[in-house]
Structure 1
Amino acid sequence: MDRRSFIRKNGQLTLLAPFIPFTMEGLTGFSRELQKPAWLIKMIANNDQAVNRIQARYVDKPSSPVFGAVLDGNDIASPHAVTSFLKTGICSLVSPESDFFKDRTLVEKLGHAAAFLKNLQHEDGTIDLLSTNFHSTPDTGFIVKWLAPVWRLLEESTVPEKEKISTPLYGFLKQAGEALKVGGIHTPNHRWVVCAALAELYKINKDQGYLERTERWLMEGIDMDADGQYEEKSSYIYSSLSNRVLISMARGFDKPELLDYVRKNLEMNFYYLHPNGEIVTEASGRQDNSIVGTLENYYYPYRYLALKDNNGQFAAACKLIEDTAFEKTTGFLYYFLEEPDLWKDLPAAEPLPVNYARTFENSRLTRIRRGAYDASILAGSTAFFTFHKKQVALQGIRFASAFFGKGQFSADSFSEENGKYVLTSYLEGPYYQPFPKDKIPGDGDWSKMPRTERPTSEVQHLTSKATISEDQEGFLIDIEIQGTDRVPVALELIFRPGGTFVGTVPHEQLADVVYLKEDTGKYSYGESAIHFGPGIHEHSWVQIRGALPKMDAPTAYLCGFTPFHHQIRIS
């Protein structure tokens, strides 16, 4: 089938009708009727900057074995790096507001890039993610869901000699579709990435195999818990990704019921927001755990459903993203170029919740917001408490005791009691008696005499409890550790880098380490400050044996012995 038949099969040209008006230059009235809003023009300008940055890594020597490639940060010609160039470059190429609009030099480069990508594709239709996955169906899916929309944009444009790009790119997409109809996955979100890629291909060619494979994956059900969070609990990366690809599936395969999952997650996010527009990541089960993340990845879902549902809170989330993270939305430009309906003005914003205490059982996370400050209590993390106040953040509180090398506190149980949040752990430290006589192997091999079969004696016990409660301007953290006496304890307050301590004493040797020996300390950044105290200093040992290594962040230590009972106020 030739390239144009591919898009016309089964009347598919009608699917492209929404794109035609703003690319058919010279038709009276269209430029006025579909004039792009200022935010979109700004996004296009930002995209141009990205094109310039990527071109600096483009391999333009015809004699090179990787001619047409883009080198990644490790100087490797990877399919993902060249895909980034194709996606970004085509968006600029088809946009009249871009400095690269119909740029012949860019057409040439993108043509060679498309050919290079096609050459990287395996016979089975897959590509490699060189850092870990080879002949990878899900990574092929990621690339297809990016490139199918920009292929459609290019195909409907009037860019001269666009076939230099679209012909090899069409060949790549068609062969990739065959891989996506049969290939396997690794993670929960991979299912929906593959299905979204199939949906984007289905907009080009109604191959029933695309729909059938999607239906097969959908039989497993969407991995959303009662709180509105996806299986991986990856609030910055994969939850936002799942929202975007579910929208693609809903639209491409006419499955509007999938949008209900997106709505539920977007509504849950209202309670995951810090006052400065960042999102809570400490409960994530993926690589975004505890990173600083903003909401840019949610801009398309919030805007799409704000307009579709006339939802003022979703509109407010869009405004928050525009105010705090708009520069980072540029990678999603292709969504907005392809959908002029998204250019409409948002509905009137309605207030987002800023005063609440809410527990998400499935994530073992409690969120408390009181206007300009907020806190997270995490039952499933060694950093069990965080506190954000405008520009400054207490990234976590941890504590450890030198109890048989296993005294890093991690809660075994979590409960709420009369407005107080209680996290508890229990440890034992036994000694071991001689191995039972009738089981001694006789050859002195220690590994054949496991501890699990030895009687124990002199068993030591340690119970650790953290009780968190609110007061007028912040929180009280009550730490109680008892059982075995004279066990050294170190309590860590870990702050986001960039600020300044007051009222603390620097560690004698370690950088970014201070003691809070008495009274109250302060950590300031910009016009914001967190106050904490009183301190305690019964010893100077901060790197407790068995504790997690110090984080690469400014840290204040409070040091004592068991029985340890100390209350610290955070405000």
Structure 2
Amino acid sequence: MNTTDQAYARIVQLNDERTATSMAKQVKDPESRFDGGVFDDTVGIAQANHVSTVSDLISWISSYVNPDSAHYHSIEVAERINRAVAFLLRRQHKDGTISLGSTNYHSPPDTAFIIVGLLQVHPLMKKDETSAIRPVCEGIETFLRRAVPAMRIGGCHTPNHRWVMTAALGGLHQLFPEEEGLVERAEEWLAEGLDFTEDGEFSERSNGIYNAVNDIMLYYAALYLNRPELLEPVRRNLNMMVYLTHPNGEVVTDYSGRQDFGNKATFVNYFLIYRLMAVKDGNGLFASMSDEAAKAMTHPGSSENQAMAGLLMYPDTQYLNVPRQPLPEQYEVMLNEHHPYKEQREQLKRVGHHGIVQHSAVHSAYGHPVGRYRDGKESATLMAAAPSFFSLRYGAARLLAVKWSTAMTPGIVAMDSLKKEAGSYHMKATLEKGYNGPLPTHARGKDSTWSLMPHQLRPLTHVQTHEVQVDIEHMENGWEFNLKAGEPEDVFTQITFLFSAEGELKGNGLQQTTNPQQFLWKNGDVTYESGQDRMILSGAAQDHTVELIRTDAHPLDCLAISINLLTPFEHRIRLTLEERKE
């Protein structure tokens, strides 16, 4: 490996550090069923899954086979590896699966995550050929062969699981070409069609976790199955992610459909796939993104996307020769602007599952528009079909969300649409609520149990329609919000600005509620400061004194400022950005 590759040197160091710290947590008790596993502090036991023991195992193997590692051909590491593989084999169920632990017992997709990870280090061990590692190769091959039946017939839960299963099936076919049905099963998953928009968004809209999973799994599937067309959504997603990164390296998670929603996440999980695709396409933008991800990396990654194993498995020295392209720091883009999300909403009513996908989610927000504005340290996100419609980073000052809550439905309003016209952003939502009449004669049964009645057949009475709208315009030193709502009259409405708790709020017109971190904004300006950066809100109102709209809730780690409005209304709020003056 070229020693001028700074990313490689950093990841060798990180992987060696992880090897040392995780080996210290390995259970060494022959009487324990967890012997050989790595103790997981978050659950209090060792687990044989892709984010715990197997992830550590892959770090150890990567250190053992790497001549640049401080643990290269270490006898102690070899012993630890053998013990961990024995643990993995004991925890594998008779049907060939493993259990995730936090959920998903006897899980084909979670087994597939492990398979893909082990397939990255198996060739490295075969090539190493030391006697200490030979039993490990045999043990891993045993695990993989036992898993074949589960992959051949197993199902999944989430959209990304399909591509994890596909990658695992393709890799097993390469390793065991005599096993029948693996490619055919992969083709069944692929026949469903790949779920990506023209701009590269996947179904789960998970910029912090599952985009990277989809990307790396489709890369492996393309490689194993000789299907280069599977790389097209990868390219599009990687291009999209360039515009979903804040100045500090965090990615936008404000509209995710998965557990990264609203949480801090960086793009370090994209390190390997950006690097692989930079070499494949000679793409300087991808190379620059991979470089930045390497600088932010503090951990080599989970088993299926392990940076050290990936660099050893695919040691392409051409990466250093890809001309770097500067990353954009000033842009204004609309993502999914032309996606037919309205047509999809209508199809959803007719598809037949009635919004229920067993053990999963519908992800009906897929394809809705997202606006991104970036200028230096200012980074704003505008979004439809999400719990909030606006978020903003200005240096150290973080406005995590602006949300609209109404007593109409009641609860948070997710905007139906987002359009950009003449330099302004326009969002709308239409809410309806009526009352259920008696069941028609033909729908009445002998059973009076409420839960067994065909409520979908009840006629609606007194249906009320409520339209809301927000127009957002970027000004020279901030943003302006024009909020509009019509009939019915006297609908309690609350606009809430959620700021990160590490900052400080100032304002004489703030009234603290029973929640010590929530304030009603009655009058005057409000200032939020963090570090050297400041946001100033103008446009207070208090048309009513409701502290929290029914079914709404604020995150515990936020400072919430709520403006109380009563319909009908048109109200303007100004958000000014400035640096603190010493």
Shorter-chain TM-score tier: 0.7 to 0.9
Contact map agreement 1:402 1:546 (CA 8 A) in 2 = no
CA distance in 2, matches of 1:311, 1:507: 52
* Contact 1:424-1:466 within 8 A present in 2 as well: yes
Aligned to 1:128: 99
User: Structure 2 vs 1, CA of residues 178 and 477 (structure 1 numbering), >3 Å: closer, same or farther?
Assistant: same
Aligned counterparts of 1:481 and 1:198: Cα–Cα separation in 2:
53
Q: Quick check: 1:349 aligned with 2:324?
A: yes
Task: Tell me which amino acid in the other structure corresponds to 2:193.
Answer: G
CA contact (8 A) 1:275 1:371 kept: no
376, 397, 408: which one aligns with 2:402: 397
Q: Does the CA-based 8 Å contact 2:255-2:387 persist in structure 1?
A: no
Q: How far does the alpha carbon of each residue in 1:80-127 deviate from its partner, in whole angstroms, 9 at most, with x for none? A: 132122111111112233332222222212211111111222233222
Alignment match of 1:89 (pick from 60, 64, 88)? 60
Q: Deviations over 1:304-335 (max 9, x none)?
A: 12122221111221233234x22244542100
- The match for 1:247 is 219
Contact kept, 8 Å, 2:436 with 2:458, in 1: the verdict is no
Task: Give the Cα–Cα distance (whole angstroms) in 2 for the partners of residues 78 and 502 of structure 1.
Answer: 47
| Alignment of 1:566 onto 2:579 | no
Q: Which residue of 1 aligns with 2:334?
A: 358
Tell me if 1:513 matches 2:513: no
Aligned residue in 2 for 1:497: 501
**Residues 535 and 256 of structure 1, relative CA distance in 2, 3 Å threshold:** same
Q: Residue 336 of structure 1 contacts residue 343 of structure 1 at CA under 8 Å; is this kept in 2?
A: no
Trace 1:62-81 onto structure 2 (pairs within 5 A): 62-72=30-40, 73-80=42-49, 81=52
The aligned residue for residue 109 of structure 2 is 138
Does residue 166 of structure 1 match 2:137? yes
Q: Deviations over 1:364-389 (max 9, x none)?
A: 23323241223222220231111122
The answer on 1:230 being equivalent to 2:205 is no
Look up the SS of the partner of 1:101 in the other structure.
coil
TM-score (norm 1): 0.84
Q: CA deviation at 1:142?
A: 0.4
Instruction: Tell me which residue corresponds to 1:524.
Output: 529
Asked if 1:472 is matched to 2:476, the reply is yes
Q: Secondary structure at the match of 1:44?
A: helix
Out of 181, 186, 206, the position equivalent to 1:214 is 186
Shift of 1:563: 2.9
CA contact (8 A) 1:420 1:467 kept: yes
- Please report how far the alpha carbon of residue 129 of structure 1 lies from its aligned counterpart in structure 2 after TM superposition: 1.8
Larger Rg: 1
Does 2:557 align with 1:552? yes
Structural RMSD (CA): 3.1
Offset from partner CA, 1:137-180 (integer Å, 9 cap, x none): 21111001111221221222254511242222221122223432
Deviations 1:410-446 (A, max 9, x none): 3344444444333233445657889999999999998
**Is 1:181 aligned with 2:141?**
no
Distance in 2 (alpha carbons) for counterparts of 1:223 and 1:449: 34
TM-score, normalised via structure 2 length:
0.83
- Residue in 1 that maps onto 2:272: 300
How far is 1:218 from its partner?
2.6
Equivalent residue, structure 1, for 2:342: none
- For 1:181, what is the secondary structure of its paired residue? helix
Q: Output the CA distance in 2 between the equivalents of 1:455 and 1:366.
A: 34
Which of the numbers 492, 515, 536 marks the counterpart of 1:488? Answer: 492
Task: For 1:349, give the aligned amino acid.
Answer: R
Query: 1:44 — aligned with what?
Result: 12
- Determine the structure 2 residue equivalent to 1:153: 124
Task: State the Cα distance separating 1:346 from its structure 2 match.
Answer: 4.9
Aligned-partner Cα distance in 1 for 2:142–2:312 = 23
Correspondence for 1:368 among 363, 372, 375: 372
Q: Which amino acid aligns with 1:132?
A: T
Question: Which residue is 1:14 aligned to?
Answer: none
In structure 2, the gaps of 5 or more residues are: 340-366, 577-582
Structure 1 partner of 2:244: 272
Say whether the 8 Å CA contact 2:439–2:459 is kept in structure 1: yes
Structure 1 letter corresponding to 2:522: K
Answer yes or no: is the 8 Å Cα contact 2:500–2:557 preserved in 1. Answer: no
Deviations 1:40-97 (A, max 9, x none): 1221221122223323432101222322122332123321132122111111112233
Deviations 1:223-253 (A, max 9, x none): 2222222222222212211111121122233
Alignment CA distance shift 1:285-1:444 (3 Å): closer
Q: What is the CA deviation profile of residues 272-296 of structure 1, one whole-angstrom value per residue up to 9, with x for unaligned ones?
A: 2223222222333222223222111
The CA distance in 2 between the partners of 1:120 and 1:242, in whole Å, is 27
In 2, the alpha carbon distance for the partners of 1:508 and 1:439 equals 48
Aligned-partner Cα distance in 1 for 2:31–2:307: 34
Q: Distance in 2 between matches of 1:537 and 1:98?
A: 63
Amino acid of the structure 1 residue aligned with 2:289: A
Q: Select 1:320's aligned residue among 288, 292, 299.
A: 292
1:480-534 CA distance string (max 9 Å, x none):
2232334433220011231112335351542222343333322222222223223
1:106 aligned to 77, 83, 101, which one? Answer: 77
Q: Tell me the equivalent position of 1:5.
A: none
Match of 1:26 in 2: none
Deviation at 1:202, TM superposition (A): 4.4
SS of equivalent residue, structure 2 residue 33: coil
| Equivalent position to 2:260, from 288, 291, 299 | 288
| 361-370 vs 61-70, which moves further | 361-370
Distance 1:173 1:356, change over 3 A: same
> How far apart in 2 are the matches of 1:35 and 1:274?
30
SS in 1 for 2:9: helix
Q: Indicate the SS of the match to 1:529.
A: strand
Change (3 A) 1:203 1:527: farther
Matched residues in 2 for 1:208 and 1:461: separation? 59
Aligned to 1:257: 229
Cα distance in 1, alignment partners of residues 448 and 146 from structure 2: 62
Specify the SS of the correspondent of 2:426.
strand
Size of the alignment, in residue pairs? 536
Q: Is the 8 A contact 2:384 2:418 kept in 1?
A: yes
Q: SS at 1:318's partner residue?
A: helix
Give the letter aligned to residue 51 of structure 1.
T
User: Once the two structures are superposed, what CA deviation does each residue of 1:14-56 show, in whole Å capped at 9, x if it has no partner?
Assistant: xxxxxxxx7xxxxxxxxxxx54733212212211222233234
SS in 2 for 1:271: coil
Change (3 A) 1:219 1:320: same
Identity percentage of aligned residues: 30
| From 165, 189, 196, the counterpart of 1:194 | 165
Residue 473 of structure 1 aligns with an amino acid whose one-letter code is N
> What secondary structure does 1:345 align onto?
helix
Structure 1, 442-451 or 412-421: larger mean CA deviation: 442-451
Distance 2:446 2:195 in 1: 53
Inter-CA distance 207–298: structure 2 relative to 1 (3 Å threshold): farther
2:479 is aligned with what amino acid? F
